[in-house]
Structure 1
Amino acid sequence: MVAKGAKRPYSVLRPVLSAFQPLLLSWTGNGEVKTLTRAEIAGIRPLTGTALMSAWYMNELLLRLLPREDAHPLLFDAYDMALQQLSNGTRAAGALRRFEWTLLRETGYGVDEDAPDFEDPVIEPALRRDLRERLAEILAGRPLSTRRVLMDLQRI
């Protein structure tokens, strides 16, 4: 999707189009590339620091694992809930594990067991390891850019 003229200083779209903010959109177009015709803010979610990197991580997973224009309503709800939790200051680990769990389940990559308590810090390391292994298998060894950036930032 393209937003013609959105970078211009006087554009009505410029102040509305921000990363990780819920929007109501209208667009036109018949081919693969659509043209944005209208955008309205549907809420504000301030994200900084770890919460912002976590949001970029979720986006990268979605872009890598889902085909374009493939609707997943339950996955969208999980993504939206994770963004809400991250913007409210909830522990990022619980929000991310819940999102990863739902992503694997909704895309058919086999999380058949019952959902664990994602907020339990005792089981979080094992759950994180398990989900990371499952995601690595699906990603076929292609490392995520957000993980690399986060590791680089932690070294600074």
Structure 2
Amino acid sequence: MPSHDDLDDAQELIAPALAGGEPAGQPERRIRARAPLREGRVVGQPGFVLHSYPYKETSLIVDMFTRDHGRVGLVAKGAKRPLSKLRGVLQTFQPLSVSFSGKSELRTLIDAEWVGGMLPLERTALLCGFYLNELLVKLLARDDRHPALFDHYVSTLNQLAHGEPAQIVLRKFERALLKETGVAAELGRSTRTRAAVEPAASYVVDPERGPREAQPAEVWPVVSGKTLLDMEREDYADPVTQAQSKQLMRFLLAHQLGGQPLNTRQILIDLMQL
């Protein structure tokens, strides 16, 4: 288990890691990007801060994950002022009710209120939360609605806050992210033979098509059929399934990221080998 000092140092690295999710002047790679929505005004929308960074002298740009409008970029005017109501509200992993307006990709935050009802994330769970946020920042297009994924995000934060095993919780969320955004293939059937996956056989998973029987000298991660079936059932009780699913999800996410590193995951690996 990492020390408190290690965790404090790691948290200082998280902000620039997330900030690196959208380099200036670089095209975004997003899963299933759709035409952006252009609502004029949204009131009382459930949301979570994924990341924020300074804008001009007194304002912030906030990357917000909302239930019915997906990931949106908001300008929080004056949020850095000492007496601003928003200053203490725009915190990560806190359920908010947010109102915003505008028709451009970057909108104006009108109001944000803390809703409550969730335990705070601490220590290992906090770092895992930042990993979830980086996944969403890098893999979701803005204005792409994913209400089911939002609900899964809330459930995942609650599981982490209540001390459920981080490796299992993260694997479930990673799989849900790929499924909800339409890029996760069915794991229970071979794409080569169309036969059901055999628990004792060995497979690789084509990121674009799905499982196929493993061949000699494969360069992709080789996993057992049982691991694939366990992942379909969300059953991660078997330590072999835990180990193989970690390697498989790392490979599948790397494909979707198109070479972008996941900085927060590397911090987690360095600290606790998740």
TM-score (norm 1): 0.89
Q: 1:127 aligns with which of 241, 245, 248?
A: 245
**Higher strand proportion, which one?**
2
1:48 corresponds in structure 2 to 122
Instruction: Return the alpha-carbon distance in structure 1 between the equivalents of residues 262 and 105 of structure 2.
Output: 26
Instruction: Give yes or no for the alignment of 1:31 onto 2:108.
Output: no
The aligned amino acid for 2:115 is: A
| CA gap 1:151/1:92 in 2 versus in 1, 3 angstroms | closer
Task: Structure 1: give runs of 5+ residues left out of the alignment.
Answer: none
SS for the counterpart of 2:128 is helix
Q: CA deviation at 1:6?
A: 1.4
SS for the counterpart of 1:34 is strand
Which runs of structure 2 are paired with 1:117-156 in the superposition (5 Å)? 117-118=235-236, 120-122=237-239, 123-153=241-271
Instruction: Return the alpha-carbon distance in structure 2 between the equivalents of residues 92 and 115 of structure 1.
Output: 18
Instruction: Return the alpha-carbon distance in structure 1 between the equivalents of residues 130 and 238 of structure 2.
Output: 23
TM-score (norm 2): 0.52
Q: 1:60 aligns with which of 116, 122, 134?
A: 134
Q: CA deviation at 1:141?
A: 2.6
Which runs of structure 2 are paired with 1:3-22 in the superposition (5 Å)? 3-22=76-95
2:75 corresponds in structure 1 to 2
Q: CA deviation at 1:111?
A: 3.5
Instruction: Return the alpha-carbon distance in structure 1 between the equivalents of residues 139 and 149 of structure 2.
Output: 12
Task: Structure 2: give runs of 5+ residues left out of the alignment.
Answer: 1-73, 188-231
8 A contact 1:20–1:45 mirrored in 2? no
